[in-house]
Amino acid sequence: MSKAVHVSRKDISSAEVVGIEDLPLPDGAVRLEVESFSVTANNITYAVAGEMMGYWNFFPAAEGKGVVPMWGHAKVIESNHPDIAEGERVYGYLPMAEQLVVMPGKVTPSGFVDTIAHRQSMAAIYNQYSRLAADPEHDPARENERMIFGPLFKTGYLIETMFRGDDWFGAEAMVLTSASSKTAMALASVAKEKSPQVKRVGLTSAGNVDFVRASGLYDEVIAYDAVGDLAQVPSVSVDFAGNSRLLRAIHETLGEHLKYSCLVGATHVGERSGEAKDMPGPDPILFFAPTYAVAAIKAMGAEAFGQDIAASWRTFLGAVADTVAFETRSGIEAARDTYAAMVGGDIDPAKGVVVKP
């Protein structure tokens, strides 16, 4: 019997470790032992948007419960697939659990797609697994960075690509909430590199101001209680916080100067008091990374897209290498406790937590 962390869908701060019966492996299937995964604000967004965006559908759980998806590494411990060998390692979308059974399809030397029935209605990007032995992105010395920053970086990259494709909607500044979050830092890094003419303004809590300034990714850093100091220039906003009061304050401060309001994630779970309605400026629009990934690949071509994102990834790693200290925690109980601490906002943004369940 293996173990998993089940989260209450009605109260995502409530999580428990449960036993899971290990059923016989079907023909063509592979059993993965989860080796490691990161726990970041991105995972909390998966839980917050679990019902609306279908994130609970990836890894089924008991009635009223859900398994939060994680990004990490796993090892094949049992295989009924002729092209997948026991002992090989993969990287991809994993449950907050000790094991996962997948049904590999479209198998190539560098990866495969999980074709198990219940995942097929979801965005394809989440069903892809990289086989590390032939994965050009894999660096054994950078596994922690890939787990913690990789998925978040791609979201930031795609947001910048979207804005640049629309000439930034005429904006001179970009306002980012939760500026200490890894996705915000990724967006700031890509914008600094590709759109330096657009001023990057980071909003953060008073306690994180020094950390955000030290990153060197922002032109200006403002504490949340000083939102009224935002310059009255054409701007776009990117909200990672999910705090409706803060979003309203940005809209009311910038008014007609706000050209686009982008919603991404929700790091301030306890302050999601509902959508901010009837605000000045444009209606907020939710950003869904998989949709824009498909559009970017179609526009640039798969090879060019891969090369471009890899170059920006290296630039970003250089910028954040010294901003995060990695901490490894062991055991499925540690996964539950780390998740709960992240929901409560009790994880230092200067700390990257990796769990080995």
Could you list the mean pLDDT of each consecutive 10-residue stretch along the chain, which spans 357 residues? 96 95 95 96 85 90 95 98 97 97 94 94 87 86 88 91 96 96 92 97 95 94 97 96 89 97 66 61 86 84 82 86 85 96 81 91
Tell me if 206 sits within 8 A of 222, measured CB to CB. no
The pLDDT score that the predictor gives to residue 188 is 97
The pLDDT score that the predictor gives to residue 277 is 65
What is the DSSP annotation of 236-301? EEEE-S--HHHHHHHHHHHGGGEEEEEE---S-GGG--S---S-SSSPPEE--HHHHHHHHHHHH-
CATH number 3.90.180.10 is the correct assignment for the domain at 2-138+324-356: yes
The pLDDT score that the predictor gives to residue 335 is 97
CA distance 113 to 89: 15
The pLDDT score that the predictor gives to residue 271 is 47
The pLDDT score that the predictor gives to residue 251 is 95
Q: Which DSSP category does 9 fall into?
A: S
The pLDDT score that the predictor gives to residue 322 is 73
CA distance 332 to 266: 24
* Residues of each domain in the chain carrying CATH 3.40.50.720: 150-291
The pLDDT score that the predictor gives to residue 319 is 83
Architecture label for domain 150-291: 3-Layer(aba) Sandwich (3.40)
CA distances from 181 to 52, 100, 249, 263 (A): 22, 28, 20, 14
Angle at which helices 143-165 and 289-300 cross, to 10°: 70
* Residues of each domain in the chain carrying CATH 3.90.180.10: 2-138+324-356
The pLDDT score that the predictor gives to residue 231 is 97
